[in-house]
């Protein structure tokens, strides 16, 4: 996984939405927060932005909630295996928001499991 920082302009190309929507999603915890790269530079991790897009696509293409949550858990495990870090809270918040959008319900135990691991 490449850890590349991108500025806001590039972040909005990855997630083509209004700037106000983008920042509201960050504020509500459904997108990864920016990183202060220096005193005058704020940026975003490109791979986290692509992961948020992958979640959106999975939500649009999975036939039902069971398949969606299966995909979400498998992706979280794969990412944790490759990085050694559990998914951030925004990942689970975005997954829950997508599930609610489609009326699939949420699997709170999934995010609680990873939140516990992150606290260790």
Number of domains making up the chain: 1
Mean pLDDT of 4-17: 97
Mean pLDDT of 65-71: 95
Average pLDDT, the chain: 90
The domain of 43 spans 5-119
Which tens digit of pLDDT belongs to each residue from 38-64? 999 999 999 999 999 999 999 999 999
Q: What is the DSSP string of the chain?
A: ----EE-HHHHHHHS-S-HHHHHHHHHTTSSPPPEEEETTEEEEEHHHHHHHHHHHHHHHH-SSHHHHHHHHHHHHHHHHHHHSSPPPHHHHHHHHHHHHHHT----HHHHHHHHHHHH-
pLDDT given for residue 105 in this prediction: 85
């Amino acid at each position: 996984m490449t850890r590349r920082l991108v500025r806001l302009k590039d972040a909005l190309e990855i997630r083509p939405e209004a700037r106000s929507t983008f920042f509201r999603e960050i504020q509500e915890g459904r997108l990864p927060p920016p990183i202060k790269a220096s005193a005058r530079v704020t940026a975003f991790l490109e791979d986290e932005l692509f992961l948020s897009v992958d979640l959106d696509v999975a939500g649009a293409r999975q036939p039902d909630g069971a398949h969606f949550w299966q995909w979400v858990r498998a992706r979280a495990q794969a990412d944790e295996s490759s990085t050694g870090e559990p998914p951030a809270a925004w990942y689970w918040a975005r997954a829950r928001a997508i599930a609610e959008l489609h009326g699939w319900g949420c699997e709170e135990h999934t995010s609680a499991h990873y939140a516990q691991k992150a606290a260790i």
